[in-house]
Structure 1
Amino acid sequence: MSMTTPCTPPTPDPDAWQNWVNELDRHAQATVGQITGGISPVQAALVYLDWLGHLGTAPGKQLDLMKRFIEDAQATTERVLSPEDEVPADKRFKSEGWRRFPFNAWAEGFLLMQRAWDRATHDVPGVGHKTEETATFAARQWLDMMSPSNLPWLNPEVLQATAKEGGMNLVRGGQNWFDDWQHLVRGLPPSGAEQYEVGRNVAITPGKVVMRNDLIELIQYSPTTDKVHAEPILIVPAWIMKYYILDLQPQNSLVKYLVDQGHTVFMISWKNPTADDRDKGMDCYRELGVMAALDTINRIVPDRKVHGVGYCLGGTMLMIAAAAMGRAHDDRLATMTLFAAQGDFTEAGELLLFINDSEVSLIEAMMAEEGVLKGSQMAGTFQLLHSNDLIWSRVLKEYMLGQRGEPNDLMAWNADTTRMPYRMHSEYLRKLFLHNDLASGRYEVDGSPVWFTDIRMPAFAVGTVTDHVAPWKSVYKLHLLPIDLTFVLTSGGHNAGIVSEPGHPRRHYQIHHRPADEHYVDPDTWQATAPRVEGSWWPAWQTWLVEHSSGLVAPPRMGLPGGRKKALPDAPGDYVRVP
């Protein structure tokens, strides 16, 4: 099979009338999507009517809601009239000012309504699980917006700062807002991100691009030890963001850590696609990404198996590649490591609330107009998943209190968004999220389905406790596979839990090794019984890699034998610099 086949445009429909009709529908949907910010108004209305209709025909539920509200209101009134020193569980109201009247009344009243809406959107007879979770999510978004902590005239912290500084906090906040607005309309990264520049103070681990095709640059990092472990490591990052989250600054670079421990490391740096790449699909990412990288590594380090490592969507692609290789009796992978990566998407968290036929059709129409999904659209969705931390807490701190947060490398990386090709993202949403083809044995590679049972090598998987993108219980589903598996659950979220270098304060993790023939343990039991270890999980993983390696050898040559007619750049390469 030609490597270019998965990247060729699909054959156009010869029916001109049908093409025109389809294009008309796509344009209409794209227009709606631009107005609603990518949210399907039809799906939103259906969810609302489903919830409201069933609640309206459930008199028992209504009576129970009224009874609970009255009881809760009485208890809330007592707390307001007889304030105690107990700090509310909601971190928005933890400051001392919220325990004084009338601020305690506003905070307690808001929490009363929050609890009432939570009860009203749960356990309504006849409402399905997804509708229930969507209604709960929507109610929480509206409530978060209306929290008294977001209103400067109701927030004691803001009032105190305003009185103390004579309103200068609001002046600084206005300047911060205007600065952010200017950056937004000019398409610039947020203020402070310019302090971190790829190749200058982030992504600076020495290495060289050893292969480039129309989708990736493959970076080989320079050795720092006299001897290296025989089996090289190939890291497949997600193409939703740029690879250098795993090579930030020297003190928190996973790449540098591995190289300094005597590992030969290769990294895929994905191209930031443009409209010209609209027809690159999932098969193209597998062929020109994982498989092309493996072919190159096999030429640089011949006769050696490879430790495959995948992060987020890159981990999902690594699973697909490993399953296809297993079916083809291709044993070039020694092990498989997955960071916050899912193969079964039935419990993929609140991100699933944005994935249904109506939403996917709307997103496809928007992508069809431009050929890509903009990084800002994906970033906006992720911000909604935890709006308290990423939106409203920032509004309070930077615009009301006038306090600029200190920029850091992870923030700068997060602002360095990428696009996604129309065809790839459409296939990803439909085949993986919407239809769950991979976990159902329906996902096809080269015309035939692959499934997890085709994966045979030992695996190491990492889930993070507060992950909103790949919830750890979804990652934990790897335990359903009949493979030798070591699972780690670490503190932190989707990004900060992975960038968890030794010496990072307040880090801890749980770890357990399960042989292939050991009985399944549910995630709650696992969490309650797996031993807890203080510190970074990186050394535990590195030890596991060494245990699955075959000894120390001299470092391999840098790059392909024979060289190239056209020189390739040093790390971090060219693709990562493309905005």
Structure 2
Amino acid sequence: MTTSDTTSGAVTGENLDKLNSNLRKVEELTQRLTQVMTHRSTHNAALDGPNQELFGKAASAYWHEALRDPAKVLEHQLQFWSKSVTHFVEAQQALASGKLKAPDDPGPKDRRFANPLWDTHPYFNYVKQQYLINADAVMQAVDDVTDLDPKEKQRLGYFSRQILDMMSPTNFLATNPDALEKAVETEGQSLIDGLENLIGDLEANNGELIVRLADETAFELGQNIATTPGKVVYRNRMMELIQYTPTTDKVHKTPIVLFPPWINKFYILDLKQQNSLVKWIVDQGYTLFVVSWVNPDGAYADVGLEDYIEDGYLTAINEAKAITAEKQVNAIGYCIAGTTLALTLSLLKQRKDKSVKSATFFTALTDFGDQGEFSPFLTDDFIDGIEAECADKGILPSVIMARTFTFLRANDLVYTPAIKSYMMGQTPPAFDLLYWNGDGANLPEKMAMQYLRGLCQRNELADGGFELMGHKLTLSDLDVPVCAIACETDHIAPWVNCYRGVQQFGSKDRTFIKTQSGHIAGIVNPPSKNKYGHYTNDDLTLDPDAWSETAEFHEGSWWPRWGAWLKNRAGAKVDARIPGDSAHPVLCDAPGTYVTVKAKT
């Protein structure tokens, strides 16, 4: 390499060429950034955070507390001042000693501050420690607020944590040693690459900043993801129905119809052969049908839950019955599709239709009395913002939902990936689960508001009945054999709430399984991994705490246990069925065409 002329300060040779090249890239990227931000799609401002009323109430409550118990507030203030001053003095003493060394840091470890410089370098250590002191003081202030409605206090705590997470020194170049080291190591190329990644993400989402979590070029549906062989045997405006190719000579008489959530794509259950629940079910000797939902645009604005039930659930069940010449199916519903399966089962009960032999629910909420971590997003100001957004676009755009879900785990799903991508210029990993996570779908306006207002906010299904299709649908109508699987650390559908819903089912045959891990990993838990265990307890009269305390723990996946439960309700063995029939010609290979449609606003 040609060296620079260090005596004159002039830069020559390759270094000058690289500098000029990077400067040209910065100019080009600046133009792209200006272009995308000029033409960015807008959304209702209410979706960006709580209205000022929440913070106004919090401030009023805090000062009321100060007047009522000034000693308590002063004590906490003095603790904060004392910690800050002591911290400053320790830093000064460390510098005055002549050794470039930080004070000893015996505090708890935080994954954000894994770089050794956070503990050894006085500058970074001071920044880190003061940030943690400030964060503790803020959360202490939130805890001190007593004269505030519990739900409002929960929101205050959530959004306070969001602000603190956003203000972490790791999120800024000048106070992130990893990013600074990378910039020096690459002669600034990492910053250029990071800017390209940032603009690329903005362009991909019409100016909305959604951090790309996976390398989208690494996967192709039907090639290295969603590869279980099958055929699309039916299609309408709401869904494609996939019948999977048998892998056994004999199959159980009663077919399975699986309804995945329509917030994301169905192939979470068919990522790759090693962890595909779809493949595992087929290999156990079942005729499996899976619904692949349409990704709606503004033309679907008036589509409601009744359309998902009529043109989705009931149609899929009827077509599966016709293809297999059977009178009944075993149904599965995952997440929101499980909630809607409950609505469908109540409807079928009232219609005296016995098409469903048994029902399995994966992490499905049917009692929305306690929304847990989602509570901050279910107050009127936020839902009013969603309603206005839906009215404007005819859909609830997938980017709005993606942003909401990811900020529930902001450090893991927003800031850490953003640091790696935008500050350090790294390419997102080729991770199938994260690829699926970014492949979202829109929700129709009518359906979104029915779900958010009627089910989530008013909890009508569990509290008096949900009016739909000329019926009042209730949980007590569900009288078919039921197996419900919920996940121990699920922040989307907390297991306690799933359990409370199952307790209200009218069925005498109820099985409840609590699996370790969360909303996805708890369900996509193949036996071959032997990773997460599960809990069982036949006494569903117990409250959730008592059920959990007396439950029996089992090593390994819940799949085989559920498989044994299903086998007893699946009928005798018959010859394996080839997908389709004369009335249902094959339309295309799995995974079909609907699944490939990207969300559009």
TM over 0.5: yes
1:315: which partner in 2?
338
Question: Are residue 550 (structure 1) and residue 571 (structure 2) matched?
Answer: yes
1:514 aligns with 2:538: yes
Pair 1:63–1:509, CA change in 2 (3 A):
farther
* Cα distance change on mapping 1:204 and 1:35 into 2, 3 Å: closer
Unaligned runs of 5+ in 2: 1-40, 91-101
Distance in 2 (alpha carbons) for counterparts of 1:530 and 1:570: 43
- Alpha-carbon separation, structure 1, partners of 2:555 and 2:85: 42
Q: Which amino acid aligns with 1:383?
A: T
Partner of 2:591: 572
> Residues 51-81 of structure 1: CA distance to partner in whole angstroms, max 9, x if unpaired?
2222221224654244245446656877895
Taking the aligned partners of 1:259 and 1:36, their CA distance within structure 2 comes to 45
How has the CA–CA distance of structure 1 residues 487 and 53 changed in structure 2, closer, same or farther, with 3 Å as cutoff? same
CA deviations on 1:6-27 (whole Å, 9 max, x unpaired) are xxxxxxxxxxxxxxxxxxxxxx
State the distance in 1 between where 2:465 and 2:70 align: 43
Paired letter, 1:554 = D
**Amino acid paired to 2:160:** A
Q: Which amino acid aligns with 2:75?
A: K
Out of 301, 306, 309, which is 2:324 matched to?
301
Distance 1:533 1:84, change over 3 A: farther
Question: 1:86 offset after TM fit, Å?
Answer: 4.7
CA contact (8 A) 2:232 2:586 kept: no
User: Which residues in structure 2 correspond to 1:75-94 (within 5 Å)?
Assistant: 81=90, 86=106, 88-94=108-114
1:485 correspondence with 2:505: no
- Residue 118 of structure 2 is matched in structure 1 by 98
The answer on 1:469 being equivalent to 2:469 is: no
- In 2, distance between residues paired with 1:155 and 1:529? 47
Contact 1:208 1:571 in 2 (8 A): yes
Q: CA deviation at 1:313?
A: 0.7
Which range moves more in the overlay, 88-97 or 443-452?
88-97
> Is 2:224 aligned against 1:195?
no
Shift of 1:359: 2.7
- What is the letter of the counterpart of residue 39 of structure 1? L
Alpha-carbon distance, 1:443 to partner: 0.1
TM superposition score normalised by structure 2: 0.82
Which of 551, 561, 567 matches 1:540? 561
Matches within 5 A, 1:361-400: 361-400=384-423
Structure 1 residue aligned with 2:179, among 158, 165, 168?
A: 158
Query: Using the alignment, how far apart are the partners of 1:529 and 1:87 within structure 2?
Result: 36
Please list, as runs of the form range in 1=range in 2, the aligned pairs for 1:294-443 lying within 5 A after superposition.
294-443=317-466
Confirm or deny: 8 A CA contact 1:40 1:358 kept in the other structure: no
1:46 has 2:53 as partner: yes
Aligned counterparts, 1:117-196, within 5 A? 117-122=138-143, 124-185=145-206, 190=212, 192-196=215-219
Q: What amino acid maps onto 1:51 in structure 2?
A: A
Question: 2:201 and 2:373 mapped to 1: Cα distance?
Answer: 28
Q: Which residue of 2 aligns with 1:249?
A: 272
**Distance 1:480-1:70 versus aligned 2 partners, 3 A rule:** farther
Q: Which amino acid aligns with 1:406?
A: P
In structure 2, the CA distance between the partners of 1:259 and 1:514, relative to structure 1 (3 Å rule), is same
Cα distance, 1:189–1:277 mapped onto 2, change above 3 Å? farther
Tell me how far apart the structure 2 counterparts of residues 278 and 342 of structure 1 sit (CA, whole Å).
Answer: 24
Residue 163 of structure 1: how far off its partner (Å): 4.6
When normalised by structure 1's length, the TM-score is 0.85
Letter in 2 for 1:328: R
1:56 maps to 2:63: yes
What is the count of residue pairs matched by the alignment? 540
* 1:321 Cα offset (Å): 0.8
Q: In 2, are the aligned partners of 1:438 and 1:451 still within 8 Å (CA)?
A: yes
Q: Is the 8 A contact 1:324 1:450 kept in 2?
A: yes
Deviation of the 1:234 alpha carbon: 1.0
Distance in 2 of aligned mates of 1:303 and 1:223: 17
Percent identity over paired residues: 34
Task: Provide the rounded CA distance (Å) in 1 between the counterparts of 2:555 and 2:81.
Answer: 42
2: CA distance, partners of 1:104 / 1:526: 46
Instruction: Please report how far the alpha carbon of residue 291 of structure 1 lies from its aligned counterpart in structure 2 after TM superposition.
Output: 1.0
Q: Secondary structure at the match of 1:153?
A: helix
Counterpart code for 1:522: P
Q: 2:524 aligns with which of 479, 499, 504?
A: 499
> Aligned with 1:519: secondary structure?
coil
Residue by residue over 1:360-390, the C-alpha shift from the partner in whole angstroms, topping out at 9 and shown as x without a partner, is 2332222222221211121122122211111
Taking the aligned partners of 1:358 and 1:87, their CA distance within structure 2 comes to 39
Deviation at 1:176, TM superposition (A): 3.1
Residue 510 of structure 2 aligns with an amino acid whose one-letter code is L
Does the Cα contact within 8 Å between 2:500 and 2:544 map onto a contact in 1? no
Give SS of 1:461's match.
Answer: strand
* Equivalent-residue separation in structure 1 for 2:125 and 2:448 (angstroms): 47
Residue 201 of structure 1 aligns to a residue in which SS? coil
| Shift, 1:329, TM fit | 3.3
Cα displacement (A) at 1:40: 7.4
In 2: Cα distance, 1:111 partner to 1:529 partner: 39
- 1:225 maps to what in 2? 248
Q: 1:369 to 1:161 in 2, by over 3 A?
A: closer
Q: CA deviation at 1:528?
A: 4.2
Contact 1:231–1:307 under 8 Å retained in 2: yes
Cα RMSD between the aligned structures? 2.9
| Structure 2 Cα separation of the partners of residues 241 and 62 of structure 1 | 51
Q: Secondary structure of 1:416's partner?
A: coil
Alignment check: 8 A CA contact 2:255 2:570 kept = no
Task: Extract unaligned runs of 5+ from structure 1.
Answer: 1-32
Q: Which residue of 1 aligns with 2:23?
A: none
Q: Between 533-542 and 447-456, report the one with greater CA deviation.
A: 533-542
Q: Give the Cα–Cα distance (whole angstroms) in 2 for the partners of residues 132 and 123 of structure 1.
A: 10
Aligned pairs for 1:207-222 (under 5 A) are 207-222=230-245
What letter is aligned with 1:48? Answer: F
Q: CA separation of 1:489/1:113 partners in 2, compared to 1, >3 Å: closer, same or farther?
A: farther
Is residue 563 of structure 1 aligned with residue 583 of structure 2?
yes
Cα deviation per residue 1:444-483 (whole Å; 9 max; x = unaligned)? 2332312111112232222234433222322232342254
* More divergent stretch after superposition (416-425 vs 352-361): 352-361
| C-alpha distance 446-165 of structure 1, shift in aligned 2 (>3 A) | closer
SS at match of 2:382: helix
Separation (CA, whole Å) in 2 of partners of 1:278 and 1:178: 31
C-alpha distance in 1, partners of 2:529/2:166? 33
Q: Aligned to 1:514, what secondary structure does the other structure show?
A: coil
Deviations 1:157-178 (A, max 9, x none): 3344445555444344334334
Deviation at 1:225, TM superposition (A): 0.3
* More divergent stretch after superposition (525-534 vs 411-420): 525-534
Deviates more, 1:471-480 or 1:144-153: 471-480
1:89 deviates by 4.1
Whole-Å separation in 1 of the counterparts to 2:140 and 2:354:
52
1:272 — aligned with what? Answer: 295
Q: Is the 8 A contact 2:65 2:147 kept in 1?
A: no
SS in 1 for 2:486: strand
1:112 partner letter = I
Q: Aligned equivalents of 2:578 and 2:528: distance in 1?
A: 32
What's the CA shift for 1:236?
A: 0.7
Q: Please give the alpha-carbon distance, in whole angstroms, between the structure 2 residues aligned to 1:489 and 1:424.
A: 29
Q: Over residues 200-244 of structure 1, what are the superposed CA-to-partner deviations in whole Å (9 max), with x where a residue is unaligned?
A: 222221112222222111111111001112322111111111111
Query: How far did residue 340 of structure 1 move?
Result: 1.7
Determine the C-alpha separation between the residues in 2 that align with 1:78 and 1:262.
Answer: 68
